[in-house]
Amino acid sequence: MLRSILLFTALVALVMNAAPGLRAAEAVWSGLVIAENVAQPEPIPPELTRIEGPLKQLFGYNQFQVIGQSSKTLKTGEEDWLATSKYFALHVDARGESEAGYVLNLKLYKEKELLLETDTKLSKRSPLVIKGPQVGGGQLLLVLVVQ
Amino acid sequence: MKTFEEKWTAWLDGELSGKELAEFEASLPDKAAAEAEKRDAKKLGALLKRELGAQALTNEEFFSHQLRERIARESAEPSRERDIAVSTWWTIRRLFWTGTASLAVFLIFAVFVMREKNPAEQSQYLSQILNARVDPVVSPNATISMFEAKGDRVTVLWTEGLQSLPADYAAK
């Protein structure tokens, strides 16, 4: 009886300790988004649906269009990739994984010119939005989401 | 003053003597019948004493008897305990261990849940901006700020003063 209880307790403890470490391969979606105010806005792209509310509330635009995107499945947490549009490129360099998420180095290029660089910790539960330069009447936004 | 019945009983038992015996036997209406009854009573008494009387035990027999009774008593007690154990699963011992195991499981879950909800560690579940910089040559007046919309769990890096670009740059 005592042995059974100890075994059961140890098993539960083991499973619970192991659970946070069991991170399945996750995909990071990175997108270049143009936010604008238009008379008849198009539906928001599915990748942005979960943050539609905060996007509209924070930036005050009614239409969000993806002009470049990339979705990368991270296996080692050391991958890098590009999300590009005709004139912009977002280089994402994953530099490791922690319990909270991924450490990423982000570089926004306009053609070959570096406009912005940042180091971030991207959490699975928390999308990251970066306000870029004004483009015409709209705004370039960089969005990163762990899917 | 003894009654007739008392004197009769004493006479049957042979406890009358002397003058009292003589007076009683003189008062008997039929002495022969009384003598016959006395003999019958004695026979009956002897018979009863022989058949129903407690047998006197010797010391050895008494000791053996005590031992046998004690052995029988002690051997009966464990089986009674076993009967009780079989009849119910929730013995004190099992209750104790079940309680201990439940407490252990509860503590594990409590620690796990508290670790999840610890406010000090909540920020690790929001994305964080570690640092950010813009090219001062391209955008000399640019400023950078960052904030977290905690209700929506969105982390924002907010730039102001970046070089504005024509609408053509919105092309896919």
* Model pLDDT for residues B133-143, shown as the tens digit of each residue: 988 888 888 89
Residue A120: which of A140, A95, A89, A85 has the closest Cα?
A: A95
Interchain pair B133, A133: CB under 8 A: no
- Verify whether the Cβ–Cβ distance B166 to A136 is below 8 Å: yes
Q: Across the interface, do A126 and B139 touch by the CB < 8 Å criterion?
A: no
pTM for the model? 0.57
Task: Sort out which chain B residues have CB atoms less than 8 A from A123's CB and list them.
Answer: 124-128, 155
**Residues of chain B contacting A135 with CB distance shorter than 8 Å:** 164-167, 169-170
Contacts of A8 in chain B (CB under 8 A): 101
Name the average pLDDT for chain A.
Answer: 85
Is 50 exceeded by the pLDDT of residue A22? no
CB contact under 8 A, A8 and B167: no
pLDDT score of A112:
86
Q: How many CB atoms lie within 10 A of CB B41?
A: 13
Residue at A147: amino acid letter: Q
pLDDT band at A36 (very low <50, low <70, confident <90, very high): very high
Instruction: Please name the member of B101, B127, B153 whose beta carbon is closest to the beta carbon of A122.
Output: B127
Q: How many CB atoms lie within 10 A of CB A138?
A: 21
Return the higher-pLDDT residue of B47 and A89.
A89
Instruction: Note whether A118 contacts B129, CB cutoff 8 Å.
Output: yes
Query: Is A2 a member of any domain?
Result: no
| Whether pLDDT at B73 is above 60 | yes
A126 beta partners: A123
pLDDT for A10 equals 61
Quick one: pLDDT band at residue B88, thresholds 50, 70, 90?
low
Domain count, chain A: 1
Cβ-based contacts of B172 with chain A (< 8 Å): 67-68, 85-86
Instruction: Note whether residue A124 is domain-resident.
Output: yes
Instruction: Identify the pLDDT of residue A31.
Output: 95
Q: Counting beta carbons within 10 angstroms of the beta carbon of residue B60, is it exposed (0 to 12), middle (13 to 18) or buried (19 or more)?
A: exposed
pLDDT-derived band at A128 (thresholds 50, 70, 90) equals: very high
Tell me the H-state helices in A20-122: 52-59
Is B89 found in the same domain as B66? Answer: yes
* % of residues, chain A, pLDDT over 90: 63
- Distance, in Å, from the CA atom of A52 to the CA atom of A20, rounded to the nearest integer, reads 29
Does residue A15 belong to any structural domain of this protein?
A: no
> Would you say residue A56 lies in a domain?
yes
Residue range B146-169: mean pLDDT, rounded: 88
The answer to the question of residue A18 being in a domain is no
B108 with A2: Cβ contact below 8 A = no
User: What is the predicted pLDDT for the residue at A81?
Assistant: 92
Nearest residue in B to A12, CA atom: B105
Domain assignment of residue A17, yes or no: no
Chain B residues near residue A86 by CB distance under 8 angstroms: 169, 171-172
B46 and B64 in a single domain? The answer is no
Q: Which range of residues forms the domain containing residue A66?
A: 24-146
Has residue A94 got a pLDDT over 50?
Answer: yes
Residue B172, pLDDT > 50, answer: yes
Q: How many CB pairs under 8 A join A and B?
A: 158
Q: What pLDDT is recorded for position B5?
A: 86
Q: Which of B83-97, B133-147, B158-172 has the lowest mean pLDDT?
A: B83-97
- Stretch A34-54: mean pLDDT, rounded? 93
Number of structural domains in chain B: 3
Question: Minimum mean pLDDT among A47-61, B41-55, B145-159: which range?
Answer: B41-55
Residues sharing a CB contact under 8 Å with residue A58, sequence separation 6 or more, in sequence order: A129, B149, B154, B156
* pLDDT at residue B80 in the model: 58
What are the tokens at B38?
């006395």
Full residue range of the structural domain in which residue B27 is found: 4-52
Is position A19 within any domain?
no
